[in-house]
Amino acid sequence: MNEEDPTLVEQSAEVAANMQEVLETSQKIWTTFLEAQAEDARPRAADPLNTMPAWLALSRAIADNPQQVADATLAFWDAQSRLWQASTLKWLGAKDTPMPESPHKSAPGKRFQHKDWSENALFDYLKESYLLASGFINHTVHTVGDMDPRERKKAEFYTRNFVEALNPANFFALNPEVLNATAEQRGANLVRGLKMMLSDLERGKGQLLIRQTDMDAFEVGRDMAISPGAVIYQNDILQLIQYAPTTEKVHAKPILFIPPWINKFYVLDLNEKKSMVKWLVAQGYTVFMISWINPDEKQKDETWDSYMTKGALEAIDAALAETGQKSLHLASYCIGGTLTGTLMAYLGKKKDKRVASATFFTAQLDFVDAGELQVFVDDETIKAVDEEMEKGYLPAQKMAHAFNMLRSNDLIWSYVVNNYLLGKDPFPFDLLYWNADSTAMPAHVHHFYLENFYTRNAFATGKLSVLDTTITLGDIRGPVYHVATKEDHIAPAESVYRGAQMMTGADVRYVLSGSGHIAGVVNPPAAGKYQYWTNPDLGPATLADWTDAAEETQGSWWPDWDRWLSERSGRMVAARVPGKVSGIIEPAPGSYVKVRFDQR
């Protein structure tokens, strides 16, 4: 009798032990999920995202255009037939056989970088077949028949998410990298991955909260949000930070930032190299920053009006009192810019001169075509969102999940594979930490935003009322610097351009930056990245026409903004020590920004 190889016996025992642990951890995951569902016994809408009208419209478009669908289907199966022939040759040893192309074939992207997706005939076939099928499905939904543009956009969005979920790289048995890792590690990767999944499920209180980075690798105030300064004012919705000067003289007029409350302000003070705050201070500006509270039940009665009064207006008055100035500059980002737009229109109508100029970063004011987030918003989905806000606020993970769905391949499925199947810890990355440091939203504020901007487009159509005053974009007065980014999927540049055109009472400088919603804004000059376009004429009907006549400049738009601001900032005065007039409550970045919803 041959004796068993002790190494094989040891490896078999290790595999068995790991599979037993996989089974036990899987049971804990299932139990944790079921217990969370049992605790949350609220009735659920059958179709909370209101997708059924879009699917019905798509079904009608397909039924009404059989020839178009038939032609596309024949072309698809022709490409699949040619793929099968090429794959057969590759299986028989013709390794250099090219895979067939198709005009609508999806690009492989980063999900298929492992060498076996190209070198192994089986996995190469799986990849190529998926790329052909996903391209055919997405193209058909995009082109078939006539559909209402909003219904088609919704159908396209959810189809894309469905197709991305079916990517073979997402499945254990179809991913060569996962299979290799499992064989080499004898299943230890699955043990680590499922333990990570259990931890993420517990962190999300029964909902899977996929970590995109090491959430313990960074600390706000230590690794990010590190510009020195002090909190000089606070109330129950904000802290106001004044940053310490780094120059002997500063411009007389200060700058107050109104960041979004949909995420945290420190994307503008991410680290030494990327900090807009640090750069502005170095240019001789006195910089103030609103740090919004991460709300809970205590903010259940806050409204859009109170965010204007207790938020922006109180912060303006505190900054002016601290500096002794009669007016200041506002700088705003994303939804903070939408709030600033309504504030500027209100002040313009009241002939209030406290704001010398307003700057908008990727801020939408006209919502007729408001980017991919629009697929989540209509009358029915707002009802479903209201049900989620029964405690007076929208839980942070709800909004985080919506943003992740906008780029599910990059922000969901790549981490499912990396974390749960390969068992790898996500790489520490400051921007992804910020992205995951999510915030809740007060119910009334969020409902007002969705209903009045996304569904009614009330500001652009002159039907918006704030502080008992009807306002329009034409009520905005004074100089405006308006930045859009070319690849923005949240605040599309075309939409931002239309809003800028509607500011008929303001002197608007519209600037189009390269890159997207974050990188196009947080682009320090020292990085030497991207470019921006300027054109003083807002007359062209479309952004494309405006861009054709625009001047392109390489690098960051920040120096252009500095030149624009400095001309409107008065004389140079002695640098200001934070809190000299108002006193200091605590050092920057303050305590409000450090509240993490997953640690409550």
Q: H or E stretch including 46?
A: none
- Catalytic residue status for 334: yes
Written as one letter, the residue type at 74 is: L
Q: Are strands 441-442 and 393-394 parallel, antiparallel or unpaired?
A: antiparallel
Q: Is 53 exposed, middle or buried (0-12, 13-18, 19+ CB in 10 A)?
A: middle
* Catalytic choice (201, 334, 373, 389): 334
Copy the structure tokens of residue 476: 């905005």
User: What is the SS3 assignment for 447-495?
Assistant: HHHHHHHHHCCCCCCCCEEECCEEECHHHCCEEEEEEEECCCCCCCHHH
Rounded CA separation 7/274 (Å): 52
Q: DSSP letters of 358-416?
A: EEEES--S--TT--GGGGG-SHHHHHHHHHHTTTSEE-HHHHHHHHHHHTHIIIIIHHI
The secondary structure of residue 514, as a DSSP letter, is S
- Sheet architecture: strand order including 531-534: 551-554, 531-534, 506-513, 478-485, 355-361, 328-333, 255-258, 287-292, 238-243, 229-234, 586-587
Distance of alpha carbon 373 from its chain centroid, rounded? Answer: 10
Instruction: Tell me the HSE value of 412 on the side-chain side, using a 13 A CA sphere.
Output: 18
Sign of CA dihedral 77, 78, 79, 81: positive
Residues with Cβ within 8 Å of 251's Cβ and at least 6 positions away in sequence, in order, are 284, 285, 286, 565, 566, 569, 570, 571, 572, 573
Do the Cβ atoms of 330 and 256 come closer than 8 Å?
Answer: yes
Crossing angle of the two packed helices 149-165 and 121-143, in degrees rounded to 10: 170
Copy the structure tokens of residue 316: 């303006």
Do the Cβ atoms of 418 and 338 come closer than 8 Å?
Answer: no
Q: Active-site residue numbers?
A: 334
